[in-house]
Amino acid sequence: MVFATPINNVGAAITMFVNVFVFTMLRTSVCNAQAVPALYMLGDSLVDVGNNNYLPLSVAKANFPHNGVDFPNRKFTGRFSNGENAADFIAKKLGLRTSPPYLSLTDGTTPPITGVSFASGSSGILNETGQPYIQYISLAQQVDYFSLVRDKLVQQLGPSVAQVHLSKSIFPIVIASNDLITYFTVGSLVSRKYTPQRYIDLLLSNYKGLLKTLYALGAQKMVVTGAPTIGCCPSLRKSSRTGECNAEANFWSKKYNDGLKVMLQELKSESLGLNYAYFDIYSAMINLFLSPETYGFTNIKEACCGLGYLNADVPCIPTSTFCLNRRNHFFWDLYHPTEVAASMFIDIMYNGTQPYMFPINLKQLADI
């Protein structure tokens, strides 16, 4: 290394040497110890690992039984699942611990170097999507929280090392289900305000703006999950006497995904250094539902936990009943997959090929 100004003072030279050594060691440890140094999770209840536990007014919580019945020590953690959820399985694939909820970090706490989760149950791309649940962290607010974490990283590591750290970190974003479910729920007010196509255009426009902000803050490796077959959730199936999927909701979910793929390609062309892996969970679900027994499922219509028709008239609460064999049920509750279903999808996300993963999968993204 060449210094611009000669150093005549021995003490100053030693100080300079120590600073350079520490910087180099930090950079080496961040870059080489692990291909993916951190996982910054954004999204909704599909990947919430407990943020909503810290929102006193939120009615979108899972910090009670029977949630967590298959989690270690049967612990209910705030995950909308019988056990672990997609966030846990993504972390395992990358050799990381599950990122802790952002709201669990007390004021002044230095965020863990291995990442933070900002995901919040009931949140959506639009700020108003979660309003029926009173308190939640919208995607825009999640991005704002990440900005605060980024600032602390810069203070902790210095600008250059922090930039390298973030450029190698993975940013999974699992969002849009609540936006679409809100539109297609019976009596929806938002459906009176927008046509389906206008609503999808609004979602994609807002989403692109938030992804651009994330990129500007240093996120260069994003995993973006499309909308699932929301019409096949027990909450929407129950409007059919035979428990069939809501075809209209699924049609527009697919239209949203078509637009999302175009938007991501545009974003990459506009953003130097950005790489992404798109997971077409919609197609993966359709494939599974066509032959559920192949994957070990004997029940793809009913929620495992709940009450009433398809166990979908009452959510999963302590007074609900729940199935004894969670491995043969696809849905845990009105909206969310069981632990085994979530694990299968993350296997696809990590190793899958087209049409489920485009243009690369999570493993290839991590290796870049």
pLDDT single digits (tens) 76-89: 999 999 999 999 99
Name the pLDDT band for 20 (thresholds 50, 70, 90): very low
Q: Which residues contact 316 (CB under 8 A, 6 or more apart)?
A: 62, 66, 67, 303, 305, 306, 322, 332, 333, 334
CB contact at 8 A, 284 and 357? no
Predicted pLDDT at 155: 95
Predicted pLDDT at 279: 98
Predicted pLDDT at 186: 79
- Annotated active-site residue 336? The verdict is yes
CB atoms within 10 A of CB 351: 14
CB contact at 8 A, 97 and 353? no
Predicted pLDDT at 24: 40
- Annotated active-site residue 333? The verdict is yes
The letter for the amino acid at 176 is: A
**Assign residue 127 a region: left if phi > 0, alpha if psi is -120 to 50, beta otherwise?**
alpha
pLDDT reading at 299 higher than 90 = yes
Rounded to two decimals, the pTM is 0.90
What average pLDDT does range 182-202 have in this prediction? Answer: 94
Query: pLDDT exceeding 90 applies to what percent of the chain?
Result: 88
pLDDT, one tens digit per residue, over 149-158 is 999 999 999 9
pLDDT reading at 285 higher than 80 = yes
- Annotated active-site residue 117? The verdict is no
pLDDT reading at 214 higher than 70 = yes
The one catalytic residue in 122, 144, 333, 347 is 333
Predicted pLDDT at 34: 58
What average pLDDT does range 99-126 have in this prediction? Answer: 95
Using CA of residue 356, residue 93, residue 88, residue 166, what is the dihedral sign? Answer: negative
Predicted pLDDT at 304: 98
Distance CA 83, CA 361 (A): 25
Q: Which residues contact 105 (CB under 8 A, 6 or more apart)?
A: 111, 116
CB contact at 8 A, 353 and 265? no
Predicted pLDDT at 19: 39
The one catalytic residue in 44, 45, 66, 122 is 45
The one catalytic residue in 48, 117, 336, 347 is 336
Whose tokens are 């206008």? That residue is 198
15 vs 368, more confident = 368
Give the CA radius of gyration of the chain. 22
CB contact at 8 A, 98 and 109? no
Predicted pLDDT at 188: 87
Task: Residue count of the chain, please give it.
Answer: 368
pLDDT, one tens digit per residue, over 129-155 is 999 999 999 999 999 999 999 999 999
Distance CA 165, CA 149 (A): 13
What average pLDDT does range 25-54 have in this prediction? Answer: 78
Whose tokens are 């803050």? That residue is 217
Predicted pLDDT at 106: 83
Predicted pLDDT at 101: 98
pLDDT reading at 355 higher than 60 = yes
Distance CA 210, CA 215 (A): 9
Predicted pLDDT at 142: 98
pLDDT reading at 100 higher than 50 = yes
Please give the structure tokens belonging to residue 124.
């959506």
Distance CA 77, CA 13 (A): 52
21 vs 195, more confident = 195
The answer, yes or no, to whether the previous bond of 66 is cis (omega within 30 of 0) is yes
Distance CA 251, CA 90 (A): 28
What average pLDDT does range 269-278 have in this prediction? Answer: 97
Full 3-state SS string of the chain: CCCCCCCCCHHHHHHHHHHHHHHHHHHHHHHHCCCCCCECEEECCCCCCCHHHHCCCCCCCCCCCCCCCCCHHHCCCCCCCCCCCHHHHHHHHCCCCCCCEHHHCCCCCCCCCCCCECCCCCCCCCCCCCHHHCCCCCHHHHHHHHHHHHHHHHHHHCHHHHHHHHHHCEEEEECCHHHHHHHHCCCCCHHHHCCHHHHHHHHHHHHHHHHHHHHHCCCCEEEEECCCCHHHCHHHHCCCCCCCCCHHHHHHHHHHHHHHHHHHHHHHHHCCCCEEEEECHHHHHHHHHHCHHHHCCCEEEEECEEECHHHCCECCCCCCEECCCHHHEEECCCCCECHHHHHHHHHHHHHCCCCCEECCCHHHHHHC
Please give the structure tokens belonging to residue 49.
């690992």
* Residue 262: HSE in the Cβ half-sphere, 13 Å Cα cutoff: 10
Predicted pLDDT at 248: 97
